[in-house]
Amino acid sequence: MRTALIVGLVAAAALSQAQIAQWNFNSNPADSSTGTGSITPSVGSGSLSLVGGATTSFQSGVGSSDPAAADNSAYNTLNYPAQSVGSGTAGVQFNVSTVGFLNIQVQFDRRHSATASRWVQLQYSTNGTTFVPFQNYEVSGTNVAMINGSSANLSSISGVNNNPNFAIRLVTIFGTVGSAGGSVYTSVGNTSTGPGGSTYGPAGTIRYDMVTVSGQPVPEPGTMAALGLGAAALLRRRRNK
Ligand SMILES: [Ca+2]
C-alpha cells in the first residue's frame, strides 16, 4: 500500500494541471472600451460559436476573476428562447483540442441579468456534434453580480482526454428556484419558489468571462518509463525487506 502511495505521489507531481485554453474576452491590444473585445483565446487555441439563436455583444467584465486592471471585457450573451421553448439548446460553444492532456477541467465566471434564466448547464462533446449534459449551475437568490469560478471536473470522462474534437456548451435550461428541470425557465429575479417567473425574458443576458479549459499533460514516454522504473525499484526494495 505504501509503495502504491509513493508511486501515486510521484505521478501526481509529474502531472500538475495546466491551462490548455482561456478566453478573457479583452481587446488585444487593450483599448479604452469594454464594449469591444476579442473572441480569440487569450491562452492557447480554440474556437467559439453561438448556438440556438443566441447573440452577443461585449460588456464590462468588472467583478470577474480577470486580473486586467483596465479594459476588462466580458462576452454578453442574449436572445435566448421564449418561455417554455428550447431548454438546453441556446448559448455559447467552445471547441478546444485536448490532444496531449487528460483529467480535463473547465472553469468560468458568469453574470446573469434579472430577467435571464437562473440556470445554465455545461454540456460536453467528444465528437464536436453530440453534446451530453454534465452539470447544472444556478444563481443563488436574486444575485446579478459576477459569480466567479463555476467549474466542472471532467476527469471521470475518459473520452474527453487527448481528443481533438472536445467541445463544451454553456446553455440555459428549465428550472425552478433550487431545482433544475421542469417545463419553464425561471428568472433570476423570481423570488418565489414556484415555477416560472413572469420576469423571464429572452432579452435577459448571461455574461461570461475567464472561460478556461485545463488538463494534465499526458506524460512523455520517458516520464512514464521513469515512473515505471521507480515503481519497479520500490517494489523490489519492498520485496527484499
Ligand atoms: Ca475579461
Q: Could you read off the pLDDT of 8-34 as tens digits, one per residue?
A: 554 554 568 999 999 999 999 999 999
- The predicted pLDDT at position 74 comes to 98
Decide if pLDDT at 203 tops 80.
yes
Decide if pLDDT at 234 tops 80.
no
Task: Provide the 10 A C-beta neighbour count for residue 134.
Answer: 18
Query: What is the pTM for the complete model shown?
Result: 0.86
Residue 39 Cα to ligand 1 midpoint, Å, equals 11
94 vs 14, higher pLDDT: 94
- The predicted pLDDT at position 75 comes to 98
Residue 69 Cα to ligand 1 midpoint, Å, equals 10
Residue 137 Cα to ligand 1 midpoint, Å, equals 20
- The predicted pLDDT at position 227 comes to 55
Residue 99 Cα to ligand 1 midpoint, Å, equals 26
Task: Provide the 10 A C-beta neighbour count for residue 28.
Answer: 12
Residue 232 Cα to ligand 1 midpoint, Å, equals 48
- The predicted pLDDT at position 72 comes to 98
Band the pLDDT of 232: cuts 50, 70, 90. Answer: low
Residue 168 Cα to ligand 1 midpoint, Å, equals 19
Residue 161 Cα to ligand 1 midpoint, Å, equals 27
Average pLDDT, the chain: 89
* Whether residue 29 has a cis bond before it, omega within 30° of 0: yes
Residue 211 Cα to ligand 1 midpoint, Å, equals 9
Residue 26 Cα to ligand 1 midpoint, Å, equals 5
Residue 94: what are its φ and ψ, rounded to 5°? -120, 125
Residue 68 Cα to ligand 1 midpoint, Å, equals 7
Band the pLDDT of 158: cuts 50, 70, 90. Answer: very high
Average pLDDT (188-201) is 69
Q: Which domains can be identified in the chain, with CATH numbers?
A: 16-219 (2.60.120.260)
Residue 62 Cα to ligand 1 midpoint, Å, equals 8
Residue 10 Cα to ligand 1 midpoint, Å, equals 36
| Distance of alpha carbon 65 from alpha carbon 88, whole angstroms | 26
Per-residue CA distances from 36 to 29, 75, 192, 208 (Å): 11, 10, 36, 14
Question: Are the CB atoms for 44 and 21 separated by under 8 Å?
Answer: yes
Band the pLDDT of 233: cuts 50, 70, 90. Answer: low
